[in-house]
Structure 1
Amino acid sequence: MLRSLSTIFWLGTKELRSLFGDLVLIGLVIYSFTVAVISQAQSNSQELHHASLAVVDEDQSELSRRIISAFMLPYFQAPVDIGESQVGPLMNSGRFTFVLDIPPNFQRDVLAGRRPALQVNVDATAMIQAGLGSGYALQIINTEVAWYLARSETSVPAPVNLVTRIAFNPNVTTAWFESVMGIINSVTMLAIILAGAALVREREHGTMDHLLVMPVSPFEIAMSKIWANALVIAVAVVIALYVVVQGILRVPITGSIPLFMGGVVLYLFFATAVGLFLGTIARSMPQLGLLYILVAVPMNLLSGGATPVESQPVWLSTIMKASPSTHFVSFAQAILYRGAGLDVVWPQFVAVAGIAGLFLALTLWRFRAAVGATGA
């Protein structure tokens, strides 16, 4: 046992030297946990931010001025007064995403209960901003009109006082979610690519034959590649959480990072085993890339990071429960966002460990068969 552990350790150090000598793969690791995470967090915005707004105020009343003043940062830029004849040209040029047109006698008609029309022109080529901004504009206008009517004797109090409390992400900031999801997706991607590339690289360079004539077993070769590549990814995850997520993006992490890293290590046994399994099938790096697309992309898309598992068809969500990526996303969100402890996430840890153990056994069996065929 000690000799086998020593062999696995020294073969792993050889694997690390080989990995750090491949500048392309090292560049991919650095990019995936820095630039890719930052760009995903900041460019895939799902909230309204600094939307351009113009106003045509044909009423010039107290109510119209109050409505205009309610459109404020950070959701909307300062409203710009324009004339009615400028609406078409400015919308066509893309100068404004929203143009609010308040008709004449708007305040008088509201007080008389005539339900006057108020027009909001929206440039829907900015699709996300258009959808969110329309909802925000409707809410702002209704709130200001209700406040104004509340001062009159004819106002009727609302039947329900709705109070909304948003937990774990009070401002519904996309970066808080996307930054961690970017790290999770990178873990799956790199674990598969690095482990698979390690085996394909041995085959392409002809060094697999050298390993086979040494007094080492296929199990020792496989485990050395698993721990070496998993170590690189685990270190990169820790650096990304502290430096990129907390330091650069200023995303608060509520839970225990060491507990999360314990789950990451369990998941890496599965993901690196998938990479080795694909490496036994692929004969070149292009083939490995195609196999990665077929396996890893559906895992990431259906794991619950992009869309909730509950929103998927029943048969598909049932299948995805057998994927460790689904449990990985579940306990990552629970720990990092909600501050869950081991007493909450241990079922996901057990599921990941169990599935990873089964797939690792299958991978080792496949690896022995592939190595045996290579040696023959």
Structure 2
Amino acid sequence: MQRSLANVFNLGVKELRSLWRDRLLLLFVIWAFSGALYTAAKGAPDRLHRAPMAVVDEDQSTLSQRIVNAFYPPTFMKPSPIGLPDMDPGMDAGRYTFVMDIPPDFQRDVLAGKSPSIQLNVDATQMSQAFLGSGYIQSIALGEIAEFVQRERSVSTPALDLAMRMRFNPALDNTWFMGVMELINNVTMLSIILTGAALIREREHGTIEHLLVLPLKPVEIMLAKVWAMGAVVLLATGLAVHFVLRGALAMPVTGSIGLFMAGCALHLFATTSMGIYLGTVARSMPQLGLLMILVLLPLEMLSGGMTPSESMPEVVRFIMLGAPTTHFVSFAQAILYRGADLSIVWPQFAAIALIGAVFFTGSLRRFRAAVGRMQS
């Protein structure tokens, strides 16, 4: 047993040295847990910010100017006054996302009790801005028209006073959510890539044959890759939580960082085993990249991070119970956002441990079969 542990440790150190010499892959790891994490969190289109807008004011009335002046930064850029012939060319050139056309005699028709229409042209290629902005513009314009007709800015008192309390994210800051989800995605992606690439790199360089002539067992070779690549990703995760999530993004982590890191280690046990399995299937790095597309997209999109699991079909929810990312997302949100302890997240921990054991056993059988073919 002592000799086997020494073999696993020494082989793991060899993997770390090999990764250190692969500067491009090492740079990719650093970027994934720093710049990529920050830009993904800050670049999330959760709200409008300086949306370009133009107005064709054919009425030139007090009401029309009041509507135009209601749009201002930072939600919208100051509306550009344009003529009717400039509307279509401006949208074709992509200079405006929204163009509002206020028809002639608009104020007179409003005061006469008629129902005039304002035309709003939306560049729907900007999907997130188009969806959010059209609702914002309608609400703002209707509010200004109602206040103009009433001649005062009155606030109606509802029959029921609904007191809303935003728990765990009072400011509704979407960067907190996107930062954690991007961290989870990068942990999954890097752990699979590093272990799969390590196996393929040894096959391409011919060093796997050197290992097979040594008194080493396949399980020792596999465990060395699991702990070495898992340790790299775990270290990067800890630094990302401290410097990016809590530092750059100012996200208050209410739960135990140690408990989160322990769950992350269990998740890495499962995903690194998946990486070795993919490394035995793929014959080259390009093939591994293609397999990663087939594996990562379902893991990221159907794990409950991008869309709630409750919104998915029942069969998809049942299938994704066998994916470690589903349980990783669940306990990461519970610990980091809601301050959950082990008594709450232990079912997710147990599920990931079971999934990891199944993946490790399957990968070990596949790896032994591949080793047997090489030796024969």
User: Aligned pair in 2 of structure 1 residues 79, 316: CA closer, same or farther (>3 Å)?
Assistant: same
Q: Distance in 1 between matches of 2:161 and 2:147?
A: 14
User: Aligned pair in 2 of structure 1 residues 82, 31: CA closer, same or farther (>3 Å)?
Assistant: same
Query: Does residue 206 of the first structure (1) align with residue 192 of the second (2)?
Result: no
Unaligned runs of 5+ residues in structure 1 are none
- Which digits, 9 at most, give the CA deviation of each residue in 1:335-376, with x for residues without a partner? 233333333322211211121122222222333333233334
* Identity rate, percent: 54
User: Which residue number in structure 2 is paired with residue 180 of structure 1?
Assistant: 180
Q: Distance in 2 between matches of 1:368 and 1:24?
A: 30
Which residue identity lines up with residue 238 of structure 2 in the other structure? Answer: V
User: Which residue number in structure 2 is paired with residue 242 of structure 1?
Assistant: 242
Q: Distance in 1 between matches of 2:255 and 2:63?
A: 46
Q: Distance in 1 between matches of 2:252 and 2:161?
A: 31
Between stretches 325-334 and 83-92, larger displacement belongs to: 83-92
User: Which residue number in structure 2 is paired with residue 11 of structure 1?
Assistant: 11
Q: Distance in 2 between matches of 1:257 and 1:240?
A: 12
TM (norm. structure 1) is 0.87
Q: Distance in 1 between matches of 2:233 and 2:151?
A: 61
Q: Distance in 2 between matches of 1:73 and 1:365?
A: 60
TM (norm. structure 2) is 0.87
Deviation at 1:150, TM superposition (A): 5.1
After TM superposition, the structure 1 = structure 2 runs for residues 47-126 of structure 1, keeping only pairs within 5 Å, are 47-59=47-59, 62-126=62-126
Which residue identity lines up with residue 13 of structure 1 in the other structure? Answer: V
Query: What is the SS of the residue equivalent to 1:229?
Result: helix
Between stretches 349-358 and 278-287, larger displacement belongs to: 278-287
Deviation at 1:82, TM superposition (A): 3.7
User: Which residue number in structure 2 is paired with residue 272 of structure 1?
Assistant: 272
After TM superposition, the structure 1 = structure 2 runs for residues 24-39 of structure 1, keeping only pairs within 5 Å, are 24-39=24-39
After TM superposition, the structure 1 = structure 2 runs for residues 139-158 of structure 1, keeping only pairs within 5 Å, are 139-149=139-149
Q: CA RMSD in A?
A: 3.0
Q: Distance in 1 between matches of 2:158 and 2:59?
A: 27
Query: Does residue 354 of the first structure (1) align with residue 354 of the second (2)?
Result: yes
Deviation at 1:85, TM superposition (A): 4.8
Deviation at 1:284, TM superposition (A): 2.7
User: Aligned pair in 2 of structure 1 residues 157, 182: CA closer, same or farther (>3 Å)?
Assistant: closer
Aligned length: 376
Between stretches 158-167 and 103-112, larger displacement belongs to: 158-167
1:280–1:370 contact (8 Å) kept in structure 2: yes
1:45–1:175 contact (8 Å) kept in structure 2: no
Query: What is the SS of the residue equivalent to 1:321?
Result: helix
1:54–1:79 contact (8 Å) kept in structure 2: yes
Q: Distance in 2 between matches of 1:81 and 1:235?
A: 54
Query: What is the SS of the residue equivalent to 1:100?
Result: strand
User: Which residue number in structure 2 is paired with residue 336 of structure 1?
Assistant: 336
Q: Distance in 1 between matches of 2:347 and 2:248?
A: 33
Query: What is the SS of the residue equivalent to 2:322?
Result: coil
- Which digits, 9 at most, give the CA deviation of each residue in 1:238-274, with x for residues without a partner? 2223333343444454443332222111100000001
Q: Distance in 2 between matches of 1:34 and 1:126?
A: 27
Q: Distance in 1 between matches of 2:363 and 2:156?
A: 69
User: Which residue number in structure 1 is paired with residue 20 of structure 2?
Assistant: 20
Query: What is the SS of the residue equivalent to 2:7?
Result: helix
User: Aligned pair in 2 of structure 1 residues 343, 52: CA closer, same or farther (>3 Å)?
Assistant: same
After TM superposition, the structure 1 = structure 2 runs for residues 310-325 of structure 1, keeping only pairs within 5 Å, are 310-325=310-325
User: Aligned pair in 2 of structure 1 residues 336, 69: CA closer, same or farther (>3 Å)?
Assistant: farther
Q: Distance in 1 between matches of 2:278 and 2:123?
A: 47
Which residue identity lines up with residue 115 of structure 1 in the other structure? Answer: S
Deviation at 1:328, TM superposition (A): 1.0
Between stretches 143-152 and 13-22, larger displacement belongs to: 143-152
Query: Does residue 258 of the first structure (1) align with residue 258 of the second (2)?
Result: yes
Q: Distance in 2 between matches of 1:325 and 1:56?
A: 50
Deviation at 1:211, TM superposition (A): 2.3
User: Which residue number in structure 1 is paired with residue 292 of structure 2?
Assistant: 292
Deviation at 1:219, TM superposition (A): 1.8
User: Which residue number in structure 2 is paired with residue 282 of structure 1?
Assistant: 282
